[in-house]
Amino acid sequence: MGCSAIRIFGLGLFLVTAAALPAQRGGQKSGGPTYAPPELIVHGSIVLPDGMAPEQLVLIQRLCEGRVEATTYADSKGRFSFNLGVVNRGPGSYGTGTTPSGSRVSNRASLQNCSVRATLPGYHAQTLSLDQVAKSEKTALGEIVLQPVAKTTTVLVSLTDNDVPKNARKEYESGLDDAAKSKWKDAIAAMKKGTSEYPKFATAWLSLGILQSSQNDAAAALRSFAQAIAADDKFALPYIESAALESAASQWSTVVEHTAKAISLDPDSFAVVYYLNAMANVRLGEADAARKSVTEGLRVDQDHAYPDLEYIDGMLRMSNNDPEGARTQFQSYLARTPDGPNADNARQLLTKLQTAK
């Protein structure tokens, strides 16, 4: 990689790193007016194709005109509810670029062009439109089915879940229910109790780490993810969560290590892994490895949940003397996320490319 390319990356990709990876989960103070938000409670449920609720924490997000906001988690039965009038600050992001927000809904009309999404790595992020809420008094959103990306779900669940004793599972489910109610301390305590009663409970370690990260305790979260990996090294999700936290801490070599492991377990299910891997390789000056990850990430990202892959691709093409390709990718990125974390920089680079014609 040439020096000019390194300068280009230095200009733009720090914004990708700041795209609210798990280090920015929760813990922020709300801004804006101090009036009480309106009560506009919506509810729904999450199920897998077999009709069962997922074992893992499932993040619920609100999407409005390119903005992605964390709202809540589903409980142990897959049910969720939240107040559309204000965005909750506790949930994590699964490395998806979620930005906790203090925005409030002042009227139903403002909900048009908004939707609710269930997010879990390795599954298609199905969305439900909020138009019905905007147009009527109906607040039941219905059921969201999480469809696995791959034909097999062996890396999406831990084999240790089959041997969890009843008391440990009861504590874990209590933790899920507390998280769905934003009772973060109670949720963490229940998860800790579940893992103490069954130390090989990889899914509980994973969920505990996510909750610890949501409360800005990155060190504890990384320890929990390491315990999940030790309990089941074929379980991909703890590698992904570790890499997301390590990315936020600029631990690029470790990010490459953990994302490479997740890719080796399943190269076709996790677009977020390629996003994190590409970003880390850019930071390490490994342009060829970054290009490979971007290409694979764009292939896997059928839901276009990671538009920053297109932004990174534009940067790589620009550094590789491919202005037309760079222009196309920046335009595509802006079309998907006009208010995204790299939007201003993408517009500046498009202007620069136009001027250079």
Q: Where in the chain is the domain with CATH 1.25.40.10?
A: 3-20+155-355
Q: Read out DSSP for 111-125? A: GTTEEEEEE-TTEE-
Give the C-alpha separation, 134 to 224, whole Å.
41
| CB-based contact 26:89 (threshold 8 Å) | yes
Average pLDDT of span 125-137: 76
Q: Which fold has domain 3-20+155-355?
A: 1.25.40
Give the C-alpha separation, 350 to 332, whole Å.
11
pLDDT for the residue 179 = 96
| CB-based contact 210:26 (threshold 8 Å) | no
pLDDT for the residue 92 = 57
pLDDT for the residue 341 = 86
Q: Write down the H helix ranges in 112-201.
A: 131-135, 166-180, 184-197
Give the C-alpha separation, 341 to 308, whole Å.
9
Pick the CATH number of 31-148 from 3.30.365.10, 2.60.40.1120, 3.40.50.1100, 2.130.10.10: 2.60.40.1120
pLDDT for the residue 57 = 94
| CB-based contact 210:104 (threshold 8 Å) | no
Encoded tokens for 185? 């301390």
pLDDT for the residue 85 = 66
The confidence band for 76, taking pLDDT boundaries of 50, 70 and 90, is very high
Encoded tokens for 304? 């276009």
How wide is the angle at C-alpha 238 spanned by C-alphas 215 and 310, nearest 5°? 90
pLDDT tens across 169-183, in order?
999 999 999 999 999
DSSP letter, residue 22: G
Match 């997922």 to its residue by tokens: 54
- Of 37, 142, 35, give the one whose Cα is nearest residue 79: 142
Q: Is 285 left (phi over 0), alpha (psi -120 to 50) or beta?
A: left
Answer with the residue of higher pLDDT: 154 or 96: 154
Answer with the residue of higher pLDDT: 23 or 329: 329
**Percent above pLDDT 90 for the chain:** 62
Match 């390629």 to its residue by tokens: 274
pLDDT for the residue 137 = 66
Encoded tokens for 164? 């969890």
pLDDT for the residue 15 = 36
pLDDT for the residue 48 = 93
Q: Is 32 left (phi over 0), alpha (psi -120 to 50) or beta?
A: left
Answer with the residue of higher pLDDT: 329 or 99: 329
DSSP letter, residue 129: E
Measured CA distances, 201 to 189, 206, 354 (Å): 15, 9, 55
Q: Where in the chain is the domain with CATH 2.60.40.1120?
A: 31-148
pLDDT for the residue 9 = 39
Q: Report whether pLDDT(63) > 90.
A: no
Q: Which residues contact 44 (CB under 8 A, 6 or more apart)?
A: 79, 80, 81, 116, 128, 140, 141, 142, 143, 144
Q: What are phi and psi of 203, to 5 degrees?
A: -65, -40
Q: Read out DSSP for 56-97? A: S--EEEEEETTEEEEEEE--TTSEEEEETTB--S----TTS-
pLDDT for the residue 4 = 32
Average pLDDT of span 145-163: 89
Mean pLDDT (the chain, rounded)? 83
pLDDT tens across 80-109, in order?
998 876 544 455 545 444 433 444 444 455
Q: What is the β-pairing status of strands 140-145 and 41-47?
A: parallel
Sign, CA dihedral 233-235-238-243, equals positive
Give the C-alpha separation, 119 to 242, whole Å.
17
pLDDT for the residue 153 = 80
Q: What are phi and psi of 104, to 5 degrees?
A: -130, 150
Q: Report whether pLDDT(8) > 80.
A: no
Q: What is the β-pairing status of strands 59-64 and 67-73?
A: antiparallel
pLDDT tens across 28-60, in order?
333 443 444 457 788 999 999 999 999 999 999
pLDDT tens across 268-300, in order?
999 999 999 999 999 999 999 999 999 999 999
Answer with the residue of higher pLDDT: 142 or 199: 199
Q: Is the pTM of this model over 0.85?
A: no
Average pLDDT of span 188-217: 96
